[in-house]
Amino acid sequence: MYQKHWNLKKLPFENTPDTEFFFESEKHEEAFSRLSYVIDEKKACAVLTGAYGTGKTLVLKALERNFKKKGYVFSFVQNPRLDDLGLLKIILHNLTGYNVPKQKEDVLMAIERFLRDTFQDGKHVVVAIDEAQLINDENVFEELRLLLNFQTETRFLLTLILSGQPELREKLDSNKQFSQRITLSYRLQPLDFAETRKYVEHRLEVAGLAENIFDERAMELLYERSGGIPRWINNIANMSMLTAFSKGEKIITEALVAEGVESSK
């Protein structure tokens, strides 16, 4: 609605995992770097946790984009609230793109065949599961652990990345057999004030604005009310810009952010 008001190429604060907007704060860059190491070295499993809205999905999508260019094969699971067979079917479908068998043994054989064929082609498979804190069935974690048994004498045929809210870590810690397979864990923290400013400037620049249209007091309130959580920054900034547009303003002030906060509740 307000794109023409600022001559934007695209809306800057949509809460979608658009990798063009990926902002490499120190924290996000560290998460990306550590998970990249696990994938590059073809390790077994890594875990990324963080509060709702801190940018975990965008980190995963940035990893997928980066490693697909290198020839890696991804199965990205966005809703793992399934039983063990259902999750295995989704993983296989994402890898092959066609109908999967009905019986568990056939699904597992098809996964193993795909992994070995991919290995023979000189490639590597990555399974990334987002919102993994939603997994409540121990059988699901057991099947995921067993997937890591697909390996040669020298390396794993699959790297598993689990991402979720902090309670995921508690679930994994209570499963000793699974937790022993985890190579690396990282917890993504909210942005600080300086990073919040750079985050806003980055998204505006990607959208087509060369300068920050949020004044200093507006930025302070935006940070205070969002807590440095990217999803809330996006919500408040988006509503602030909509409010400014409705009033014919080009610069976002503290008062406009305050209205944006109320509108985003």
Q: What is the pLDDT of residue 237?
A: 96
Cα(4)–Cα(2) distance, rounded to whole angstroms? 6
Kindly report the CA angle at 68 between 48 and 30, in degrees rounded to 5? 35
In CATH terms, the fold of domain 26-188 is Rossmann fold (3.40.50)
- Give the residue among 188, 187, 190, 171 at the shortest CA–CA distance from 80: 171
Q: What is the pLDDT of residue 84?
A: 94
CB 250 within 8 A of CB 256: no
Task: Give domain limits for the chain.
Answer: 26-188, 191-264
Q: Report whether pLDDT(130) > 80.
A: yes
Instruction: Report pTM.
Output: 0.92
Mean pLDDT of the 65-69 span: 95
How would DSSP label each residue in 99-157?
---SSHHHHHHHHHHHHHHHHHTT--EEEEESSGGG---HHHHHHHHHHTT-B-SSSBS
Q: Report whether pLDDT(265) > 80.
A: no
**63/176: higher pLDDT:** 63
pLDDT of 158-172, one tens digit each? 999 999 999 999 999
* DSSP H or E stretch at residue 77: strand 73-77
* DSSP H or E stretch at residue 162: strand 158-164
pLDDT of 22-54, one tens digit each? 998 999 999 999 999 999 999 999 999 999 999
- What 3-state DSSP class applies to 164? strand
Cα(80)–Cα(110) distance, rounded to whole angstroms? 20
Q: Express as a percent the part of the chain with pLDDT over 90.
A: 88
- Give the residue among 21, 20, 19, 50 at the shortest CA–CA distance from 34: 50
Q: What is the dihedral of CA 207, 211, 212, 215, to 10 degrees?
A: -150
Query: Given this structure, which CATH class describes domain 191-264?
Result: mainly alpha
Cα(145)–Cα(156) distance, rounded to whole angstroms? 12
